[in-house]
Structure 1
């Protein structure tokens, strides 16, 4: 049975004055790789997160029609799979981390390409393309070819190309990957502005918690090809159900029979001797890595039960305890620092 993401009512997600348009309902099955069901209202942005190999790009490829799948995809009440709708007829906008611009075309012609492929005449297609380049702040670069653009400029052109065709479904596969921090921040702000006016459904694959917190209405966590958790960005960040999400938001998660327990790295005490008493939250562990983390030193350790936990200690403590990879340590956490919540795929009330 496939897992299920419900991104709420259209009214709840769109908010006052937010554009709404065609919604998405899809059940995607790619044998051995993905089995997930996704439902999203028009005007919503869904962040798709998970470890490498979780099925994120497979999901986007299946929705776009570039990855063979079983199941069904319905956008705006129209089936794209029964009968199969050719890729060129699907109203999809695609943005990849490597931009995938045509190297022999100018920025203007790259943006106009999708419009021309959908039957728009040359002159109005070029006019529309120039309008979108202007919106993304790269209008003066219209005549340049991709090799003459910086990474941030090329990604703005790629976003303009995706939005110019007025897609019903916008698929963004790590659009900020490979950009320096300043460029990524500026582009994130710019994209947020355009997504606020986007009436269709946007799926954003990302490895960064900041993207989910600042751009998305909902979060879909994939793990092992299935949906592991869904909910609002704040709920998922506060109650992570997988190690991957916990790492993204800087928390530890310990899984019990029917509950999850989370706590911050700063709540973990590191010692070389077994703690006295019978504290519930204590683990013997082996240090995997020790790296600077702001004013602290972040320790990654694996417990005897193969659980990976992170702890923040002072640089002085790291030296005093000799915290190097391979060092055997004890980790303890006070119960008052632990948040307990149920092991459920959806955190929605």
Structure 2
């Protein structure tokens, strides 16, 4: 199965995905990620094809889509069971069949005892499980997940991420998951799609995208510096950067200069953000930071050995 989306004029994204594939969509705020999902669902205008079917003019109720919104959007007046049963009933199944399907999904997510509770009586993690179960209960061709772990504490995120991964392995349709978290891409994605300013900037396996990011947002997401240079990009980690107060010597070194913007603990190191051209990250020991007298606003030189950087074409 292929999903093709074309939102010419606002989000110029031609997207395709195979049946059973999890496509994780990342990009900076305003890149068009949520707009892409809303267009597939029929909530925004756009040309959409799923397999051989043209969904462009298909009304929202007739699109076989399961949608998990950022705020869950559970029906507040319905119980967890009735929320999950809503989709099957809307598609013509009897109340008994819909309730049975809903109970089955609540069981699969480990929350059958919450069937009678209203959304206000659920924790964030519980409510999100109900929202995902509601989306899957409709037996959709396309599952849309818009930042499903937002607002949950770290332990709840980890638990729900693992559970969702198990369910997605059995899901025969296409999944598009919007996220700002590199962990989601690394653990759930078959492929990663990078949107930047409404356009597809990069598509590939998570490891490929992480190794050769093509936008500053993705580079920051995976903890790399990214410097454009003509037709090539240069990527390197913060711990490959040397910080000094005077210009470094040696022709084998790449160098940049700028003021320190911020200093913050990062594991056992101190991480600097320096307003060079472009902004760069550097890791150094607390002792080295103290010896250099680093404070916001202080001019520093950053350098990296040519052998410590990765070079690749600006276009994949």
TM-score by length of 2: 0.98
Cα offset, 1:37, TM superposition: 0.2
Aligned to 1:332: 303
Aligned with residue 296 of structure 1, among 262, 269, 274 = 269
Specify every segment of 5 or more residues in structure 2 that has no aligned partner in the other structure, as ranges.
none
Q: Secondary structure at the match of 1:274?
A: coil
Q: Secondary structure at the match of 2:312?
A: strand
Cα offset, 1:279, TM superposition: 4.5
- Aligned-residue CA RMSD in angstroms? 1.1
How do 1:253-292 and structure 2 match up within 5 A?
A: 253-292=226-265
Is structure 2 residue 144 aligned with structure 1 residue 167?
A: no
How do 1:305-320 and structure 2 match up within 5 A?
A: 305=277, 307-320=278-291
Cα separation, 2, equivalents of 1:321 and 1:185: 39
Given that 2:65 and 2:144 are in contact with CA atoms closer than 8 Å, whether structure 1 keeps it comes out as yes
Deviations 1:164-221 (A, max 9, x none): 0110010100001111111100100000001001111100101011101110111110
Cα separation, 1, equivalents of 2:112 and 2:51: 32
Aligned to 2:212: 239
Q: Secondary structure at the match of 2:93?
A: coil
Deviations 1:33-82 (A, max 9, x none): 3111011111101010000001101111111110123xx2111211101x
Cα offset, 1:23, TM superposition: 2.5
Give the number of equivalent residue pairs: 316
How do 1:168-183 and structure 2 match up within 5 A?
A: 168-183=141-156
Cα separation, 2, equivalents of 1:321 and 1:106: 60
Specify every segment of 5 or more residues in structure 1 that has no aligned partner in the other structure, as ranges.
1-21
Cα separation, 1, equivalents of 2:292 and 2:40: 51
Aligned to 1:55: 32
Aligned to 1:26: 5
Cα separation, 2, equivalents of 1:78 and 1:26: 12
Deviations 1:76-102 (A, max 9, x none): 211101xx0000110000112211111
Given that 2:64 and 2:142 are in contact with CA atoms closer than 8 Å, whether structure 1 keeps it comes out as yes
Aligned to 1:184: 157
Q: Secondary structure at the match of 2:162?
A: helix
Aligned to 1:113: 86
Given that 2:7 and 2:45 are in contact with CA atoms closer than 8 Å, whether structure 1 keeps it comes out as no
TM-score by length of 1: 0.89
Cα separation, 1, equivalents of 2:130 and 2:61: 20
Cα offset, 1:280, TM superposition: 4.6
Cα separation, 1, equivalents of 2:294 and 2:113: 54
Cα separation, 1, equivalents of 2:123 and 2:200: 36
How do 1:114-263 and structure 2 match up within 5 A?
A: 114-263=87-236
Deviations 1:307-343 (A, max 9, x none): 0110111111122222222111000001110111111
